[in-house]
Structures are given as structure tokens and as C-alpha cells.
Amino acid sequence: MRLYGRYNSPYVRRVAVTMRLYGLDYEHENIIPFDDGKRDVTRVNPIARVPVLELPDGECLVDSTAIIDYLDEIAGPDHALIPRAGSKRRQVLKFVAIELGIMDKLVAILYERQFRPKKKWHRPWIAACEAQIRDGFNWIDNEIHDDWLISGQMTQADVSLAVFWDFATRIRPRFFADFNCRDIDIMTEKLNNFPAFQQTLAVEEALSTELPEYPEKEAGQ
């Protein structure tokens, strides 16, 4: 199998970590879905987004959730990080949906600040997204009562949370500095010691971290 996309992308990394936790081998294609890289990504995904997982027969799976669904299928019910049915499955899916929602908001702000002229940034909308990010992470932090989020064992809810928190705090350190999500920190630190996480560290930032933080005190803005 061949995984397209850099580990800088939290969506790519959650797939890569899951594959490693399942003991699945893959070749890694470090392509970027921006600028000139878009053309390469379009060969495997018409909307030029990563991750993409190419199967040995050439079939290309897109979107981290759809890819992980396939990985769970081949890992089998005893190893899959998302239970096949029942209350535990619903709980895992709820956490993962909230985590993905937080990431959507974070990435939307990054794109706004990276790709739109500063004069056109719509700051009330950015502030609304930031509030959702804060509320989401705080809610999850309050839900951690044990070593793992659900059922006394590691699930995809823990894996994705650690990947996303790692990405978020790395890309916007000043924004997250006062979040005080101690239990998410502890969970992330623990998982970062796993080989699957160590072997998928981002090499360089996909988007600049040099961007000014928002809100800023600037005349006329």
C-alpha cells in the first residue's frame, strides 16, 4: 500500500499512526496538496486532498475516516481501534467526530490566515471558530477520567486526539498556551512515546507558524 501526504497533515498522520499500530506496511509518498504539488495529488484524488491510500491493485481511498474504516476492516474486530458495534462504537465515533470538527475549525483559520489577504480576514468568524476549538478541547479534557477516553483501552478516539493536539499546539503555540488541558497533554505525551507516533513526526511545517496571532491590536483592523 502507498500513503500519500506528509505527516505534517494531522489527517495523514492519524492514518499513518493507525497503520503502524496495526502492523501494516506502506510506502510513503511525501506530496503536498498546495501550489505545484496539487497536480501530483490530483492523480490520486480529483479534489487534490491528502491523505490518499493506494491499495496494491491501484484503487485509491480518500479521506482519513474512510481510509481508517478500511484499515479497521483488515485489522479485524479484535484489533480495530473502533469497535464494530454497540455503545462503545458510538462513543468512539462521537469523540472522533468532535475531534475532527475541532480540526476543521483549526484548519479553516489556518487557511484564512495563510491564503487570504490580511485585509479580508473576517475576524468575527475567526473568533467564532476559535471559541469552538476552545470549547471542544475543554470538553474532551473534562471527559478524560482514566488512562484512555473509553472502555479502559486505547481506541481511535485517543489516537486522533493525540495527533490533533500535537498538531494544534505545534502550529499555534501562543493560542494554545493558556488552554490548560492537562489531561490531553498527559495523554498526548504518553502516546508520543509509542513507536507509531515517533516514526511519524512532522519534518517541517506545512504552513507557516510565523503568522501573527489573532486577535491583534492593530489600528483599523
In the complex, the residues that contact ligand GSH under the rule CB under 6 A are 9, 11, 33, 48-51, 63-65, 107
CB atoms within 10 A of CB 36: 7
Q: Measured from the CB of residue 93, what is the shortest distance to ligand GSH in angstroms?
A: 14
* C-beta of 33 vs 83, nearer to ligand GSH: 33
Q: Measured from the CB of residue 114, what is the shortest distance to ligand GSH in angstroms?
A: 11
Question: Residue 220: what are its φ and ψ, rounded to 5°?
Answer: 80, 10
CA-to-CA dists, residue 137 to 7, 103, 134, 176, angstroms: 22, 10, 5, 10
Q: Measured from the CB of residue 221, what is the shortest distance to ligand GSH in angstroms?
A: 27
Task: Give the cell for residue 192.
Answer: 508520543
Q: Measured from the CB of residue 65, what is the shortest distance to ligand GSH in angstroms?
A: 6
* C-beta of 203 vs 219, nearer to ligand GSH: 203
* C-beta of 9 vs 18, nearer to ligand GSH: 9
Q: Measured from the CB of residue 51, what is the shortest distance to ligand GSH in angstroms?
A: 6
* C-beta of 13 vs 20, nearer to ligand GSH: 13
* C-beta of 186 vs 201, nearer to ligand GSH: 201
Give the 3-state secondary structure of residue 41. helix
Strand ordering across the sheet containing 27-29: 27-29, 2-4, 52-54, 60-62
Question: Residue 192: what are its φ and ψ, rounded to 5°?
Answer: -60, -20
